[in-house]
């Protein structure tokens, strides 16, 4: 007994001296010794002391002990810092963590290896690592293989290999048969069962001739045991296991295996109990209420993101459990490790956010990836990684597009618009980014340069269009200017000058397109060579004075002039002076003025003048002959008309008999000896001539006449035309055409007006095929008066 107590005291002394300095291999060696002592102390007064010693040693060897957990957390954070290091500050922080870890455990190989890796980064880091090695008396190794990384939840299991224990004075007896000898002698197959250190393997008692006092062996029949006692032990072992008394479970399992070697239930429970002892597993019902409350509050704070307060409550829960006799609480230790990881991930995310603000996107990405390595599947880290990668990709695309900008102005403007859209999207993610602001400013400056180029090129195109002589050329250049102005307005809708120029250019292009259509339509009408079509073509071409320099326009006008020259030549040949003069007047008006003085027109003019002179000569000759004939007739009939004109005087008045029921109108003679005729409605009208003197000459006529009524004139005058004219609804050449004023038709003039073009317009009315037609015609050389000409308008 004294020897067993001495062994327990020696082990306790070694555990106390090596609790904070020894490596895991030394602790494992002490654990095997403690198992042997625990086996020897069975059913002795030193059993409880041996059990306490074994529990303390299991706590020290467990990876979830406070010191080892703290060291492992520091190593994990330092390793991530080194892997994701972007500058010397990260290396310095990693060395600070490793310095704290090596203070807790100076012999930890992983800490030393990480310190050596950190020292290779820079000269300053190497100096700090050398100082730490010198301070803790650590010898630098020449080369060391990198340690295998261990996960957070990794647990180390103590080897369960058997250790030979003294067999109650028979440990050194050579006559004791070995296991292989026993198996060979009995002819049975050697079967190996798992067991605890310090306890005999269960198969050793199979075919063991030594009587243990509990069971009896009959040669060739194996051990004899009581099944009731084993059932009671198994039942008690199960209760102790679920109660959390794992050391009692190990003892009961060994007792069962001593009576029944190879019992599967005892072997299973002993294995699970030993694993729980090593890993520090504690049943929930043994955790104190106060510790459980602190633990649950810490879990709530973790979900809320308050990691500092959660870590404090986890430590408080662990301390409460230790004061209640629970030396190792796996859940609390594991929670402390996880909270350290969460805090480290939060710290790295915050560092990444600061780097994003300073536009150091690549380093921020390294920080976010490091945070994701600490806490896998962290949605905050994954979201930030996706965000920074998208920003880096879009920013690189913007730089490439700005550097590769080319093509036409429209292509460049489209590329810059795309760049600005990308930058606008990025600036929503990083509103305070100076890098994105510089890219936006560069894109805007280039866009402003393109606007200036568009303005200059559009103005130059409009100038070329103004100076162009061909309508097609003007239209093409104007379309080019129109496209540039539309692009400029699209880039800057608020530019009023560009908007006004765009409106004017559109109107000009539309007018030129209409003029081109009019020219083509006029050419088609001229080719038909009818009077109505030629007149319509002349009207259409008259409104295109602005395009007088166009070759196509001048060609069409020249062709129209030839048609009129042919008709004028035919009129001259036919001796139709009015027709020739009307055609000549047309050839002197629009649109023929653009052609200048033509030889054909001059020749027709000379011929018309000659015809006019001949006509005048004929009229004078006819007039003179008529006057001579009239004079001769007057002289020859002088005796007849002279008494009538100059009647002789008479003193006999003549009474005029007038019926009483018929009024007689007797005009008063004037001083001019003009006889007055008085018509008396009767069967025989009497004409009374009353001279201006007092004498009256009465001549009674025997002829009978019937008076007729003369209608009051309804027209100002009457006109006709030598060719068919357009009949308009208003005195305007652009008004609606309601019909035609046919040639050789007499029309009455209802009124005269001055039209919008400054010319005289006649409002006429005439009958055509039983219908009354009214409208306006413009005064020209083809309109001739019928009877009394119309009065001139002021």
- Beta-carbon contacts of residue 181 (< 8 Å; ≥ 6 apart): none
Model pLDDT, residue 285: 65
- For residues 148-152, average pLDDT: 39
Alpha helices (runs of H) in 637-759, residue ranges in sequence order = 638-645
Statement: residue 143 has pLDDT above 50: no
Question: Widest CA span of the chain, in angstroms?
Answer: 217
Of 325, 376, 369, 367, give the one whose Cα is nearest residue 347: 367
* Residue of 769 and 554 predicted with greater confidence: 554
pLDDT tens-digit series, residues 11-49: 888 877 764 445 566 776 777 777 777 777 766 777 777
The Cα 526–Cα 530 span in angstroms is: 8
Statement: residue 695 has pLDDT above 50: no
- For residues 362-391, average pLDDT: 87
Model pLDDT, residue 524: 92
- For residues 85-96, average pLDDT: 77
Statement: residue 126 has pLDDT above 60: yes
- For residues 383-389, average pLDDT: 90
Model pLDDT, residue 217: 39
DSSP 139: P
Model pLDDT, residue 223: 41
Provide the token pair at 650.
């008479």
The Cα 725–Cα 178 span in angstroms is: 145
- For residues 344-357, average pLDDT: 87
Of 29, 27, 53, 28, give the one whose Cα is nearest residue 40: 53
| Calculated CA dihedral for residues 453, 454, 456, 460, nearest 10 degrees | 130
- Beta-carbon contacts of residue 678 (< 8 Å; ≥ 6 apart): 656, 664, 665, 666, 667, 686, 687, 688
Task: Judge whether 400 and 421 are in contact, CB under 8 Å.
Answer: no
Provide the token pair at 169.
């004075």
pLDDT tens-digit series, residues 280-332: 676 666 777 888 888 888 888 887 878 778 878 888 887 887 777 666 677 77
The Cα 458–Cα 445 span in angstroms is: 20
Q: Among the ranges 236-240, 389-393, 494-498, which has the highest mean pLDDT value?
A: 389-393
Of 555, 547, 557, give the one whose Cα is nearest residue 473: 547
- Name the pLDDT band for 764 (thresholds 50, 70, 90): very high
Half-sphere exposure of 434 (CA within 13 A, CB side): 5
Choice among 324-328, 433-437, 593-597, 636-640 with the minimum mean pLDDT = 324-328
The Cα 547–Cα 629 span in angstroms is: 61
pLDDT tens-digit series, residues 698-744: 343 334 444 444 454 478 898 998 888 888 888 888 788 888 888 88
pLDDT tens-digit series, residues 475-516: 899 998 888 888 888 888 888 888 898 899 999 899 989 999
Residues 171-183 as b or e (16 or more Cβ within 10 Å = b)? eeeeeeeeeeebb
Choice among 136-145, 280-289, 422-431, 513-522 with the minimum mean pLDDT = 136-145
The Cα 499–Cα 486 span in angstroms is: 8
**Cis upstream peptide for 671 (omega within 30°):** no
Angle at 145 between CA 344 and CA 78, to 5 degrees: 10
- Strand-pair category, 717-721 with 783-786: antiparallel
Model pLDDT, residue 448: 87
Of 332, 303, 329, 300, give the one whose Cα is nearest residue 315: 332
* Residue of 680 and 262 predicted with greater confidence: 262
- Name the pLDDT band for 270 (thresholds 50, 70, 90): confident
The Cα 744–Cα 35 span in angstroms is: 145
Model pLDDT, residue 150: 39
Model pLDDT, residue 215: 39
Name the 3-class secondary structure at 54.
Answer: helix
Statement: residue 347 has pLDDT above 50: yes
Q: Among the ranges 234-248, 249-263, 329-343, which has the highest mean pLDDT value?
A: 249-263
Q: What percent of the chain has pLDDT over 70?
A: 75
Name the 3-class secondary structure at 101.
Answer: helix
Bridge partners of 725, per DSSP, are 741
Q: To the nearest whole number, what is the mean pLDDT of the chain?
A: 75
- For residues 101-129, average pLDDT: 83
* Residue of 145 and 776 predicted with greater confidence: 776
Q: What's phi and psi for 776, nearest 5 deg?
A: -115, 140
Residues 3-29 as b or e (16 or more Cβ within 10 Å = b)? ebbebbeebbebbeebeeebebeebee
- For residues 234-244, average pLDDT: 80
Provide the token pair at 392.
């880096």
The Cα 445–Cα 404 span in angstroms is: 16
Q: What's phi and psi for 217, nearest 5 deg?
A: -110, 135
Rg (CA), the chain: 67
* Residue of 692 and 365 predicted with greater confidence: 365
Q: What's phi and psi for 777, nearest 5 deg?
A: -130, 145
Sorted by where each starts, the structural domains of the chain and their CATH numbers stand as 66-135 (no CATH), 281-378 (1.20.58), 455-609 (no CATH), 717-786 (2.30.30.40)
Task: Judge whether 257 and 269 are in contact, CB under 8 Å.
Answer: no
Of 601, 591, 497, give the one whose Cα is nearest residue 550: 591
pLDDT tens-digit series, residues 406-427: 888 888 888 888 888 999 998 8
Bridge partners of 772, per DSSP, are 767
Model pLDDT, residue 65: 53
Choice among 104-108, 742-746, 771-775, 782-786 with the minimum mean pLDDT = 104-108
The Cα 671–Cα 503 span in angstroms is: 80
- For residues 551-572, average pLDDT: 88
| 3-state DSSP helix/strand/coil % of the chain, to nearest 5 | 60, 5, 35
Name the 3-class secondary structure at 794.
Answer: coil
pLDDT tens-digit series, residues 158-213: 333 333 333 333 333 333 333 333 333 333 333 344 444 344 444 444 334 333 33
Statement: residue 545 has pLDDT above 70: yes
Of 752, 763, 778, 724, give the one whose Cα is nearest residue 590: 778
pLDDT tens-digit series, residues 665-683: 444 444 444 444 433 343 4
Q: What percent of the chain has pLDDT over 90?
A: 4
Provide the token pair at 709.
């009524």
The Cα 747–Cα 744 span in angstroms is: 10
- Beta-carbon contacts of residue 682 (< 8 Å; ≥ 6 apart): 659, 662
The Cα 90–Cα 344 span in angstroms is: 13
Measure CA of the first residue to CA of the last residue in the chain; give whole Å.
157
Model pLDDT, residue 86: 66
- Name the pLDDT band for 2 (thresholds 50, 70, 90): low
Task: Judge whether 743 and 721 are in contact, CB under 8 Å.
Answer: yes
Task: Judge whether 230 and 256 are in contact, CB under 8 Å.
Answer: yes
Provide the token pair at 105.
């455990």
Q: What's phi and psi for 726, nearest 5 deg?
A: -75, 140
Handedness of CA 632, 634, 637, 639 (dihedral sign): negative
Model pLDDT, residue 168: 34
Using left for φ > 0, alpha for ψ between -120 and 50, and beta otherwise, residue 143 falls in beta
- For residues 761-779, average pLDDT: 87
**Helix and strand tally (H, E) in the chain?**
25, 11
Bridge partners of 573, per DSSP, are none
Q: What's phi and psi for 736, nearest 5 deg?
A: -70, 135
Name the 3-class secondary structure at 752.
Answer: strand
Its pTM stands at 0.44
Model pLDDT, residue 523: 92
């Amino acid at each position: 007994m004294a020897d067993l107590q001495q062994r327990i005291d020696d082990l306790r002394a070694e555990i106390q001296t090596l609790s904070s300095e020894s490596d895991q291999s030394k602790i494992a060696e002490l654990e095997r010794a403690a198992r042997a002592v625990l086996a020897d102390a069975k059913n002795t007064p030193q059993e409880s002391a041996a059990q306490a010693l074994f529990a303390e040693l299991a706590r020290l060897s467990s990876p979830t002990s406070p010191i080892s957990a703290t060291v492992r957390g520091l190593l994990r954070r330092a390793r991530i810092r080194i892997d994701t290091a972007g500058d010397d500050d990260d290396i310095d922080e990693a060395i600070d963590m490793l310095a704290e870890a090596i203070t807790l455990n100076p012999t930890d190989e992983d800490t030393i290896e990480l310190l050596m890796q950190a020292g290779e980064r820079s000269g300053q880091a190497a100096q700090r690592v050398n100082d730490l090695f010198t301070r803790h008396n650590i010898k630098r190794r020449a080369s060391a293989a990198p340690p295998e990384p261990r996960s957070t939840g990794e647990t180390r299991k103590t080897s369960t290999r058997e250790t030979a224990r003294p067999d109650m004075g028979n440990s050194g007896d050579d006559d004791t048969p070995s296991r292989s000898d026993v198996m060979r002698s009995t002819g049975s197959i050697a079967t190996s069962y798992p067991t605890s250190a310090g306890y005999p393997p269960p198969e050793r008692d199979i075919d063991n001739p030594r009587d243990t006092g509990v069971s009896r062996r009959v040669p060739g029949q194996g051990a004899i045991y009581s099944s009731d006692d084993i059932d009671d032990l198994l039942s008690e072992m199960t209760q102790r296991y679920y109660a959390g008394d794992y050391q009692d479970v190990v003892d009961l399992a060994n007792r069962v295996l001593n009576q029944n070697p190879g019992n599967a239930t005892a072997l299973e429970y002993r294995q699970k109990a030993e694993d729980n002892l090593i890993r520090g597993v504690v049943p929930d019902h043994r955790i104190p209420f106060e510790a459980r409350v602190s633990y649950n509050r810490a879990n709530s704070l973790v979900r809320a993101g308050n990691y500092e307060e959660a870590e404090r409550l986890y430590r408080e829960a662990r301390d409460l459990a230790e004061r209640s006799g629970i030396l190792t609480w796996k859940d609390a230790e594991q929670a402390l490790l996880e909270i350290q990881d969460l805090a480290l991930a939060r710290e790295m995310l915050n560092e990444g956010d600061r780097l994003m603000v300073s536009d150091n996107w690549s380093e921020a990405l390294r920080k976010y990836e490091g945070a994701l390595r600490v806490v896998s599947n962290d949605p905050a880290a994954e979201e930030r990684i996706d965000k920074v990668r998208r920003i880096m990709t879009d920013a690189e695309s913007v730089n490439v597009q700005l550097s590769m900008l080319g093509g036409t102005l429209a292509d460049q403007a489209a590329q810059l618009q795309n760049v600005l859209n990308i930058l606008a999207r990025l600036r929503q993610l990083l509103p305070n980014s100076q890098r994105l602001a510089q890219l936006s400013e560069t894109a805007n400056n280039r866009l402003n340069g393109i606007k200036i180029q568009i303005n200059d090129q559009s103005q130059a195109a409009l100038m070329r269009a103004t100076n162009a002589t061909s309508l097609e050329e003007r239209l093409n250049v104007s379309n080019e200017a129109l496209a540039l102005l539309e692009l400029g307005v699209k880039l800057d809708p608020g530019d009023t000058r560009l908007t006004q120029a765009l409106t004017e250019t559109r109107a000009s292009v539309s007018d030129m397109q209409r003029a081109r259509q009019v020219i083509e339509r006029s050419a088609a009408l001229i080719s038909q060579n009818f009077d109505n079509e030629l007149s319509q073509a002349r009207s259409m071409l008259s409104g295109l004075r602005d395009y007088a320099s166009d070759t196509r326009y001048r060609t069409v006008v020249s062709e129209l002039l030839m048609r009129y020259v042919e008709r004028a030549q035919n009129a001259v040949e036919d001796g139709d002076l009015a027709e020739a003069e009307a055609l000549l007047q047309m050839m002197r008006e629009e649109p023929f003025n653009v052609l200048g003085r033509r030889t054909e027109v001059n020749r027709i003019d000379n011929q018309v003048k000659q015809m006019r002179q001949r006509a005048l000569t004929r009229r004078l000759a006819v007039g003179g002959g008529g006057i001579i004939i009239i004079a001769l007739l007057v002289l020859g009939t002088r005796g007849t008309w002279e008494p009538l004109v100059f009647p002789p005087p008479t003193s006999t008045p003549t009474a005029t008999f007038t019926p009483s029921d018929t009024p007689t109108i007797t005009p008063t003679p004037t001083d001019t000896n003009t006889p007055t005729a008085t018509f008396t409605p009767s069967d025989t009208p009497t004409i009374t001539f009353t001279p201006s003197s007092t004498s009256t000459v009465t001549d009674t006529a025997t002829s009978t006449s019937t008076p007729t009524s003369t209608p009051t004139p309804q027209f100002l005058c009457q006109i006709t035309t030598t060719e068919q004219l357009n009949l308009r609804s208003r005195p305007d050449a652009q008004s609606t055409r309601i019909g035609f004023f046919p040639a050789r038709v007499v029309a009455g003039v209802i009124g005269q007006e001055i039209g919008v073009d400054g010319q005289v317009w006649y409002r006429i009315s005439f009958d055509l095929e039983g219908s009354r037609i009214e409208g306006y015609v413009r005064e020209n050389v083809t309109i001739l008066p019928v009877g009394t000409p119309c009065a001139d308008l002021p």
